[in-house]
Amino acid sequence: MQRITLLDGGTGRELKRIGAPFRQPEWSALALIEAPEFVTRVHEAYVAAGADVITTNSYAVVPFHLGAQRHATDGARLATLSGRLARDVADKAPHPVRVAGSLPPVCGSYRADLFDVAVARPLLQMIVDALRPSIDHWQGETLSAIEEADLIRAVVGQDGKPLWLSFTLADGALATGEPRLRSGEPVEDAVRAAVRLGASAVLFNCSQPEVMGAAVTIARDTLHDLEARMQIGVYANAFPPQRADADANADLLMIRADLTPDGYLGWARDWVARGADIVGGCCGIGPEHIAALRMAL
C-alpha cells in the first residue's frame, strides 16, 4: 500500500469552532495573543485524528493581519510562540509527529500583484528566525507566484531542513483550461521552480478540490520528464470560489456543505490515485476530515 503522509487541517476556522478568540483582522493570530492554550488544543486535535505533520500557527503573524505597529512590537514573539506550541505538542504525541514551519505570503494571500520582494524579505526573515529552533521542515504556503517561492528559498537558505513549497491555484470561474497559479503562471513552471530550488515536496493548497487533481497530474508528469524525485501534496480548502482581487480571510466565508469528511475523502482518493503522497486540509477542513483520511488512506 502507498504510504501517505497526513497533514493537519485548517487552524483559523478550527480555532473559531472551538470558541477561541477570533476576529478580523487578526484571524488565527488572535488566539496566540489572547489565549494560546486554544492553539495547543487545535494541534492536539489533529494529532489525535492521526496527522503526521502539524503546522505552526504563524500564517497570520504578518502586518496585514496584526497591523504594522503590533507586528513591529510583538511579531517575533508571536512567531516564536507559534513554533514552541507546535513543538511541545509534537514532542508529546503518541506517534511520530513532525512540525512544519508555516511561511505565509507576507504581502497578501491570493494577491501576486501585491508581492514586493523588498517588503517581503525582512518580514519572512523574522518568521524564519523565530521558527527555526522548533520546526522539522519549512512549508511555504498559499504561494500565488513563483517569485514568492524564490524568496522563501533565499531566506531559509541551506540550513539542512527540508523545504516544501505549496502553491495556490486559480479556482472557480478563473480556472479555465490548464490549472494555473493565481498569478497566471502554469503549474508546470511552478513544479520546475520547486525542483530548481531544491524543494523536497511540491504541494497545492487553499484552493477548491475541483482544481487539484489536474495539478497533481501535471506535477507527476513534469517530475517524470525532469527525472526528479519529489513528493506531491494537496490540502484543499472548503471555500466557494474567490475573486481575482479577493484577500484570503478578508471575510468569514461560508463553508461548503458538500465537503463533509466523506465528501472530502472522495477528492483525496482521486489525488492519491493521480500520484499525491501528501494529503491534508486547509481552511474549513477539520480534525474530523483528517480522521477520515487516516482511516481510509
Q: Which amino acid is at 250?
A: A
Query: Could you give the residue ranges of the DSSP H alpha helices within 3-116?
Result: 12-17, 29-34, 36-49, 63-66, 68-92
Q: What is the pLDDT, as a whole number, of residue 241?
A: 63
In terms of Cα–Cα distance, which of 179, 166, 168 is closest to 206?
168
pLDDT digits (tens, 9 = 90+) for 180-235: 999 999 999 999 999 999 999 999 999 999 999 999 999 999 999 999 999 999 99
In terms of Cα–Cα distance, which of 181, 216, 207 is closest to 285?
207
Q: What is the pLDDT, as a whole number, of residue 177?
A: 75
d(CA 217, CA 130): 35
CA 157 vs CA 37, 46, 125: distances in Å: 32, 30, 11
Q: What is the pLDDT, as a whole number, of residue 240?
A: 74
pLDDT digits (tens, 9 = 90+) for 130-142: 999 999 999 999 9
Mean pLDDT (the chain) is 94
Please give the average per-residue pLDDT across 49-71, as a whole number. Answer: 98
**What is the spatial order of strands in the sheet that 163-167 belongs to?**
5-6, 278-281, 231-236, 201-205, 163-167, 137-143, 98-103, 53-55
Q: What is the pLDDT, as a whole number, of residue 255?
A: 82
Beta carbons within 8 Å of 276's beta carbon, 6+ residues apart: 216, 232, 233, 234
Q: What is the pLDDT, as a whole number, of residue 257?
A: 85
Q: 5-296 belongs to which homologous superfamily?
A: Homocysteine-binding-like domain (3.20.20.330)
Q: What is the pLDDT, as a whole number, of residue 239?
A: 80
Q: What is the pLDDT, as a whole number, of residue 252?
A: 60
Please give the average per-residue pLDDT across 152-166, as a whole number. Answer: 98
Q: Residue 243 above 60 pLDDT?
A: no
Paired with 281 in beta bridges are: 236
Burial class of residue 225 (count of CB atoms within 10 Å of its CB; 0-12, 13-18, 19+): exposed
What is the C-alpha R_g of the chain? 17
- List the grid coordinates of 146: 513563483
Q: What is the pLDDT, as a whole number, of residue 254?
A: 76
CA 220 vs CA 127, 140, 182: distances in Å: 31, 20, 20
Higher pLDDT pick, 250 / 11: 11
Q: Are 32 and 57 in contact (CB under 8 A)?
A: yes
Please give the average per-residue pLDDT across 104-110, as a whole number. Answer: 97
Q: What is the pLDDT, as a whole number, of residue 164?
A: 99
pLDDT band at residue 273 under the 50/70/90 scheme: very high
Q: Residue 107 above 60 pLDDT?
A: yes
**3 state SS of 117:** helix
pLDDT band at residue 279 under the 50/70/90 scheme: very high
Structural domain boundaries of the chain? 5-296
Q: What is the pLDDT, as a whole number, of residue 173?
A: 53
pLDDT band at residue 166 under the 50/70/90 scheme: very high
pLDDT band at residue 127 under the 50/70/90 scheme: very high
Q: Residue 9 above 90 pLDDT?
A: yes
